[in-house]
Amino acid sequence: MPDYRVKISETQDDDLENHHYLVTAKNETEAKEFAMKFMERFIDDDNDPEKIENGYTFYNKAVIVRLESIKETTKEQFKEFLLKIHTINMT
């Protein structure tokens, strides 16, 4: 089964944070289904998130979690991507 890089945005008080995850699924549709199920439980304290287009809101719309993109990848490419975005290059 192919791997997909899933980008999820989290917005709270106008602060935007992006999260990246690796999902193994039969196809992109199944990867989106898995990502949506994951996002529904994104914040443990809120047992009643509101579903919105491509995501959920939590705490009466104070936190918005959205699926931003899904891209087919490999585990190795995903590792390289994470290393690149989490490395400080001082040269």
pTM of the complete model: 0.89
Q: What pLDDT is recorded for position 57?
A: 96
Is residue 91's pLDDT more than 80? no
Token output for 74: 């490999």
- With CA atoms as reference, report the closest residue to 73 among 82, 86, 60: 82
Sorted by where each starts, the structural domains of the chain and their CATH numbers stand as 3-85 (3.10.20)
Which pLDDT value is given to residue 82? 95
Convert the pLDDT of each residue in 21-33 to its tens digit: 999 999 999 999 9
Average pLDDT over residues 57-84: 96
Q: Of 11, 9, 2, which Cα lies nearest the Cα of 30?
A: 2
pLDDT in the model for residue 1:
93
Is 51 in contact with 42 (CB distance < 8 Å)? Answer: no
DSSP state of 59: T
φ/ψ (deg, to 5) at 19: -125, 145
pLDDT per residue as tens digits for the range 18-69: 999 999 999 999 999 999 999 999 998 888 899 999 999 999 899 999 999 9
Rounded to a whole number of angstroms, the CA Rg of the chain reads 14
